[in-house]
Chain A
Amino acid sequence: MNINVHYVTRVEGHGNIVVDVKDGKVEKCIWEVIEAPRFFEGFIRGVHYKDVSEIVSRICGICSIGHTTASIRATEDAFGYKPTEQTLTLRKLLLDGETLQSHILHTYFLAAPDFLGAKSVFAIIPTHLEAAKMALRLKRIANDLCDLIGGRTIHPIREVVGGFTKLPTEKELRELKKTLETEALPLMDKTVDVFASLAPKIPNFVRETEFLGLVRDDEYAFYDGELGSTDAGRTDVHNYKSWTNEYVVPHSSAKWTKNKRESLAVGALARFNLNAKLLHPKAKAAAEKLGLKPINYNPFMNNIAQVVEAVHAVEDALIQIDKLLSKGIKDEKVDPMPLKECRGVGAVEVPRGILIHDYTYDKTGHIVQANCIIPTNQNCANIEYDMKKLVPEIMDKPQDEVQLMLEMLVRSYDPCISCSVHLVKVNFK
């Protein structure tokens, strides 16, 4: 058996699966990343702090709000700036919007076709028009939220270092609240039912691994927190390098990450495994209905964890909006940073896992050094170790089934290879 999937589809960015099985023995089983490198960490040097977040936002279209937020947090951490409560609340609301839109996109449009035996969402629209309309409506609501708070879903405009360049009005927030309550919540209920019906089709595969993500005592962490691990407890995010050890594997030049084991995983399932107790009530009920309990070691269940988090995001958005409305929107200006030589780290949970930006500034406010740790990068080793365990378990099946299962495995991580900061082209000869 020889499987060579060139450009796995329905993922962001370019990756290949290569598997060779000879005489019942797995000779090669590799997850290749073949994205064109773009050198963000290199060409961000010399950029003024005010322009940094909008450049690094372009690392990824789909998680641009996450990159913008991580970047802003790193810069504010460096200059020792504490944003106002209103700014914090708006940022949390904005992240809720991104989580919702990204999870809906992935679960309905990119992953669900596999469970229905289709090659793309376009193929199942005619037969599942109702579900397609539900997904489109939910995604539109999430994008409307991002447009309102960030000025734009893809590469937000209003969210900057020191605050927001334009604020939503209370009237706009009340309208958003109404849409979330009357449309998004019921649609999420139906979504949970849709995925509960698909759940029996999720492959039963288990491989123990270490899960990494932001943790807090008081909330299901997205915006900030400590670095948490299912193996290693907690540490300050400034110590991230000792946990996300980057290393080079002999057969490739890809920088992978590991901490306590051969690989680690980040993303919705990791967050759920670390923080399930802190989910909002409807999300907790959704997890129960979908049969998701911590700790879950089935990577295919990441799709289900995303559905649970989508419910949580709607509930959380409503909480943040209520907070804003109860205090009233204050006309706050964007604060300038006190320039000095400094270094800061910003860690944020984005749809695909924990994202870390680390900047060093000179005394004129220009970047001298930058490091970005990207979720998909952290998952690469885990994907390959999963493949190595999965292939022997399923290799008596027909080749096209094995291939589909491997593609589904990769897709379940919702990889975002465009975030190509460290990812390396691999050649096998």
Chain B
Amino acid sequence: MKPRVAFFDFASCEGCQLAVINLENELLDLVSHIDIVNFREAMTEASDDYDIAFIEGSVTREADIPRLKKIRENAKLVVPIGACACTGGVNFRKNFYELGEIRNYVYGESAKYFDTFATRPVKAVIPVDFEIPGCPINPKEFLSVVKSLLIGRKPEIPNHPVCVECKLAGNVCMYDKGEVCLGAVTRAGCGAWCPSNGSGCEGCRGLVDEPNKNSEKEVLTKAGLTVEDAVQKFRIFAGYFEEVKK
């Protein structure tokens, strides 16, 4: 029997689900190997009977918690996809402002109608089985995870920095071009997407385990960034990590 797959979304831009829909060349093949039973962005039917739950988006309100717990109960495997779900993504930026102030700033008198709390990733609420990081996810990586799950193998998400993939891609180092790049401490798997397009890594996939903090600090200082600038840069996507919070 084909595995039953569900997609769910929380606070996000829904770009990671779109990344799946954008797999035009592989989509027909993909749906021949899995049964998509829940995908609100693309279909009306919905089922609570599924094996794999892909979750996009951050947890930002009380009502999200029971919804997530239900998904955890129903699914054999829970796989958060994208920066919002894995590390809070740009939504985590909210946590660096005073919650009451930012609510009033955006919504004024209507702020009281909002149920919102500090942004957190999915794994802060329920146990998860794997994560596919990135903003947006790399569609190739998504396919490779699906393939692994189909054959019962543990999917592999790299634990080396983007620099490795960037070197392999033959790019000139962004620092040699006078640009700031977070690739030395950011988790690879994107194929050095941004540097290969002439732009420094923004750290959207989060930090590698045990990043080389001292050497990164040295590089950023050499590039002329103040500590404040550097922290701001990391807080675009990687504010969730302890190394950045401090």
Chain A residues proximal to chain B, CB less than 8 Å: 7, 9-13, 35-43, 45-48, 51, 54-55, 58-62, 64, 101, 105, 109-110, 113, 119-123, 125, 132-133, 136-137, 139-140, 143, 151-155, 157-158, 160, 164-166, 248, 253, 255, 418, 421-422, 424-427
Q: Report how far A405 CA is from B236 CA in the complex, Å.
A: 42
Kindly state the separation between the CA atoms of A426 and B114 in the bound complex, as whole angstroms.
9
* Residue of B45, B97, B110 touching A43 (CB-CB under 8 A): B97
CB pairs A–B below 8 angstroms (23 shown): A7-B40, A12-B14, A13-B14, A35-B11, A36-B116, A37-B11, A37-B116, A38-B91, A39-B102, A39-B116, A40-B90, A41-B106, A55-B93, A61-B12, A109-B42, A113-B44, A122-B36, A139-B24, A154-B22, A155-B135, A418-B14, A424-B113, A427-B113
For A35, what are the chain B residues with a Cβ–Cβ distance below 8 Å? 11
B151 at interface by CB-CB < 8 Å: no
User: Quick check: B31 and A165 within 8 Å, CB to CB?
Assistant: no
Query: In the complex the two chains form, what is the Cα distance from A119 to B39 in whole Å?
Result: 12
A424 to B36, CA, bound (A): 30
Contacting pair B15 A165 (CB below 8 A): no
Q: Is the CB of A136 within 8 A of B27?
A: yes
9 closest Cβ pairs, A-B complex: A61-B15, A120-B43, A165-B198, A151-B197, A166-B198, A42-B102, A140-B24, A43-B93, A119-B44
- Given known contacts A36-B60, A157-B194, A64 and B232 CB-to-CB distance under 8 angstroms: no
**B19 to nearest A CB, angstroms?**
6
What is the minimal beta-carbon distance from B100 to any residue of chain A, in angstroms? Answer: 11
Chain B residues near A43 (CB-CB < 8 A): 90, 93-94, 96-97, 102
A429 to chain B, nearest CB (A): 13
B1-29 interface code vs A (CB 8 A; 1 in, 0 out): 00000000011111111110110110110
Q: Which residue of A lies closest to B17 (CB)?
A: A61
CB-defined contacts of B194 to chain A, threshold 8 Å: 151, 157
Contacts A7-B40, A38-B11, A418-B14 given: A248-B45 contact, CB under 8 Å?
Answer: no
B13 contacts which of A58, A164, A165 (Cβ < 8 Å)? A58
Known pairs A42-B105, A427-B113; list 19 more (Cβ under 8 Å): A10-B44, A42-B102, A43-B96, A51-B232, A51-B236, A55-B93, A58-B89, A61-B16, A61-B19, A64-B13, A110-B42, A119-B44, A122-B43, A151-B198, A155-B135, A157-B197, A158-B198, A166-B197, A425-B114
B124 CB to nearest A CB, Å? 16
Residues of chain A contacted by B10 (CB below 8 angstroms): 36
A153 nearest in chain B by CB position: B22
Residue of B nearest to A67 (CB): B13
Please measure, in the bound complex, the distance between the C-alpha atom of A418 and the C-alpha atom of B186, giving whole angstroms.
27
Q: Is the CB of A425 within 8 A of B19?
A: no
Count how many pairs of residues, one from A and one from B, have CB atoms less than 8 Å apart in the complex: 186
- Of B94, B193, B236, which is within 8 A of A42 by CB? B94
Check if B141 is an interface residue, CB within 8 A of chain A.
Answer: no
Contact B136 A9 (CB under 8 A): no
Let me know if B147 is at the binding interface, CB within 8 A.
Answer: no
Which listed residue (B12, B44, B232) contacts A418, Cβ 8 A? Answer: B12
Q: Do A158 and B110 touch (CB < 8 A)?
A: no
Chain B residues in the interface with A (C-beta under 8 A): 10-19, 21-22, 24-25, 27-28, 31, 36, 39-46, 57, 60-61, 64, 89-91, 93-94, 96-97, 101-103, 105-107, 109-110, 113-116, 135-136, 193-194, 197-199, 202, 229, 232-233, 236
For A47, the closest partner residue in chain B by CB is B232
Contact indicator B198/A121 (Cβ below 8 Å): no
CB pair B93–A61 under 8 Å, yes or no, is no
Among B19, B24, B25, B105, the most chain A Cβ lie within 10 Å of the Cβ of B24
Q: Do A37 and B106 form a contact, CB below 8 Å, given A9-B40, A160-B199?
A: yes
Given A36-B61, A48-B232, A61-B18, is A10 in contact with B43 using a C-beta cutoff of 8 Å? yes
Residue of A11, A38, A45, A158 ringed by the most chain B CB atoms within 10 A = A38
**How far, in whole Å, are A110 and B25 apart by their CA atoms in the complex?**
19
Cα–Cα, bound, A33→B19 (Å): 24
Across-interface contacts of A143 in B (CB, < 8 A): 22, 24
Contact B19 A154 (CB under 8 A): yes
